[in-house]
Structure formats: structure tokens, C-alpha cells
Chain A
Amino acid sequence: MATAMNVSPNRMELIKLKQRVTLAQKGHDLLKDKMDALVMELFDSLRKIQDSRIAAIGQLKKGYVALSECIAVMGTLETMQAARETRKEIQIDVSARNIMGIQVPSIDIGEVERNALSRGYGLYTTSSSLDVAAKEFEKALKLLVDLAELEATALAIAKELERTKRRVNALEYILIPRLNEALKFILMRLDEMERENFTRLKRIKAILEERE
């Protein structure tokens, strides 16, 4: 392993290698902390998504029930005509927030529930059931925007988590063991060289003593 990394067994290389191990270990510890935090954020987002989705689906159900009633009272064509006349724009403020370097959308949605006058359709030609249906769908819209924000956040966190996990695994299972192996190789080689030197000196001493 050590020869494959092209390390020459000397003290300078040993010092350099120790520095590399320290850096790799530090990187590993910090990235692992980041990974833990990302997992925490992801699970939190998933929990929120689940609640938000249940709320949005429940609200949409109410909306569709109210719409069915409205169609039954007013008729399909009249309801569609009223829908075409309705003002469709809402005010939302889309900005970004940063979670550990990941840019995720942050949506501030103001008041989406309007009164019958500000919706845009004529009050004379429509039934009050249309107001009820519109109100239910406006409530659902707010929940859907919240859900969209949460889903985009969870997706971005999941992508970053995958990338971080790959880095942590590369450090934990490949780089750090390789560096430790090389470190061990140099230490053993230096010990071996020291023993060789010691034996050589003892041999020289014995030869010199024999000559005397």
C-alpha cells in the first residue's frame, strides 16, 4: 500500500504524513458534524412536509366539495365564466435562506384570502356558494405554497447530504486508512533502519576490537 503511494521512508516524509493525517481527520470530523446536521434538517423537513401535505390535501378536498356545490347551484358554464373573471395574481415574496451553504427558497406569502369584492367576478350574477368555494381554494393556495417551499428545501438538503456522505465515506474508508498505512510503513522502515544501523555499529566495533 505504502509503495503504491510512493512514499520514501524518511523523517521529513513522516512529518508531512502526520500533518496530512491531522488534516484528513479534522476534515472528517467537521464533515461528519455537517452530515449529522443535514440529517437532522432533512428529517425535520420531511416531518413538516408530511403535516403540510395532509393539511393541503384536506383543504383541497374542502375546496372541491365547495366547488361541486357551487357548480350544482350556479351551473358549469356560469362557474367557469366567473373563474375567468377572477383576478389571478397574489403577492408572494420569494427570497433565499442558507442552510450550511445550501441556498433554499424562503417564501413569505402575505394574506391570500380576499373578500368577495376584491376577487373580481360580478356579485350580481354569482351565488354565495362561489364565495365559499373561492375562500376554501384561497386557503388551500397558502398551504400549497408552504408545501412547495418545504419540498424544495428537502430536495436541496437531500442532494447536499448525498454529496457530503460521499466525502465522509471517502475520508473514512479510503484516505485515512491509506495515510495510516503509509505512516505505519514509514515508522516500521525507520525502526528497521535504526536496528540495521545499530547492528552495523556493533559489528564495526567488534571488528575494531579484533584488530586491536
Chain B
Amino acid sequence: MKVERIIKLELGKLNAQVPEKRLTLKAALVSNKPAVFTKGGGVHSFKKGELELLSKMLPEEDWEKLQLPIFISFEPSLGRGTAKIRGKIETAVVAQIIGKNKDDEMTVYRPEVAAIRRKLPTTTQYLFVG
């Protein structure tokens, strides 16, 4: 049974970076040290440059609606290297980066994920959904 425990432990640790509570862009912009506490007990801070970039990409009324970090969720059922981005505002941001049509839910592929992460390394996070 030891192997199963190790697998379960590994699966539990996969999403240790997920924040306890997400932060809105508006709240992050006014904060001195914009950061969230992760489920693994750590701190994840956002770079101010990225927050400013996001604020330029979205109209001011949407700042309250954008929850940070934006999740790039990997699901094995989608196939290797394929991920989903959920949320109207979240997909609107991603659509501007990778030049896709925005929707409520967006499927992104590995090169697109790399492009998103390159542009928004702290304001996006991976999520592994089993």
C-alpha cells in the first residue's frame, strides 16, 4: 500500500500552489505587496509590472471581476499538453495575448500556454484536474 500512499501524496502536492483565496485585479493594484497565500502554506506574489499590464488590457469596470491568479487547468481527459481557461474576463485577457476569439471557456495548446506564461508568469498558475 506504500506506493498508493506516495501517489496520493504526489497528487495532493500537485495543486499546492493554488491560492486559498483569489485576489481581484482591483485589490491587487491598490495593495502594496500584492500576494496570495497558497494551499501548500507558501506565499505567491504578483509582479506590479504584470498587474499594470493587465489593467491596460481590461476596462476599469472589469478590474473587480478578474480573479488572480488566472488558472490554466490541465486535464488528462483533454489530452497531453492541452489546457483550459475558464471565465469570461480571464479568457478575454488570454485572447488578447494569443490572438484567439474570446469565449466563456477556452482550450489552449502547449505553445499557447508557453506564450501566456511568458507574458504573465506570476498572474497565471497551473491547475491539475484529475
Contacts and interface: CB of A to CB of B under 8 A. Distances in A.
Interface of A: 20, 23-24, 26-27, 29-34, 36-37, 40-41, 44, 93, 95-101, 103, 106, 108, 167, 171, 175
B114 A44 contact: yes
Interface string B109-128: 01001100110011001101
Given A34-B14, A36-B81, A101-B14, A44 B125 contact: no
B101 to A, nearest CB: 24
Given A97-B45, A108-B48, A175-B3, A40 B17 contact: no
A29 B121 CA distance: 24
A101 B4 contact: no
Interface of B: 3-4, 7-8, 10-11, 13-17, 33, 35, 38, 40, 42-48, 74, 76, 80-81, 110, 113-114, 117-118, 121-122, 125-126, 128, 130
A61 B51 CA distance: 33
Contacts of B42: 96, 98, 103
A95 B7 contact: no
Contacts of A20: 4
Contact of B17 (A27, A93, A100): A100
A39 B47 CA distance: 23
Contact of A98 (B7, B10, B125): B125
A30 B130 CA distance: 7
A106 B35 CA distance: 11
Given A33-B74, A37-B113, A95-B45, 14 more contacts: A23-B7, A30-B128, A30-B130, A32-B80, A34-B128, A36-B80, A37-B74, A44-B117, A44-B118, A98-B40, A99-B17, A100-B126, A101-B14, A103-B42
Contacts of B113: 37, 40
A23 B125 contact: no
Contacts of A23: 4, 7-8
29 contacts: A24-B3, A26-B76, A27-B7, A30-B11, A30-B74, A34-B14, A34-B74, A37-B113, A40-B117, A41-B117, A44-B114, A93-B33, A95-B43, A96-B45, A97-B44, A97-B45, A97-B122, A98-B38, A98-B43, A98-B44, A98-B125, A99-B17, A100-B14, A101-B14, A101-B15, A103-B42, A108-B48, A167-B10, A171-B7
A33 B35 contact: no
A96 B45 CA distance: 6
A26 B10 contact: no
Contacts of A37: 74, 113, 126
A96 B74 CA distance: 23
B94 to A, nearest CB: 16
